[in-house]
Amino acid sequence: MLSASRLRRATCAALLCALALALAKGQQPSNHSPPRPHKPSRPAAASAPAEAHPPIYADAIRENDIGMALMERHEFSEALASFQRACILNPQSDTGCLNIGIALLNMGRYDDAATILKKSAERDPVNPRAWFNLGLLERE
């Protein structure tokens, strides 16, 4: 019998496969809405940036995503290294730095985690992830 999280993952994987197959065949995915008319593409000169983010930010996002995947696999020290690279590549965003604190918390390095999480909560006081993880830290 599958656990709830494995069942969710299997369901998501099946839905993504069905969506990918529908898109590969050139069909609209069936989401009970009428197909939208195709808009003509803009000329190349009208669309200034080809990417939504500069390459350095894309690298930071990639490093953070790799770290999240490693956290899912409980490879916390490798995830910590990815989050550190993400934090350095994009110092304007607190995401990588906050994830450093979360990785440290999962590794049992509570003093280091407390320092990072408190700085993250000061930097972005409306971010619930920082406060939630500080609460987990207090529980330990």
Planar angle of CA 65, 71, 72, nearest 5 degrees: 95
> What confidence tens digit (pLDDT) does each residue in 67-90 have?
999 999 999 999 999 999 999 998
Query: DSSP 3-state assignment of 134?
Result: helix
**What is the average pLDDT across 131-140?**
91
Tokens of 105: 């918390």
Nearest-10 crossing angle of helices 110-123, 95-107: 160
pLDDT at 5 over 70: no
| pTM of structure | 0.60
pLDDT at site 29: 44
Rg of the chain taking only CA atoms, in angstroms: 20
**What is the average pLDDT across 43-72?**
75
Amino acid of residue 120: S
pLDDT at site 55: 73
> What confidence tens digit (pLDDT) does each residue in 13-40 have?
555 555 455 555 654 444 444 445 555 5
Three-state SS annotation for 53-107:
CCHHHHHHHHHHHHHHHHHHCCCHHHHHHHHHHHHHHCCCCCHHHHHHHHHHHHH
pLDDT at site 83: 94
69/63 Cα distance (integer angstroms)? 10
**What is the average pLDDT across 54-69?**
88
Ranges of each domain in the chain:
55-139
Class of CATH domain 55-139: mainly alpha
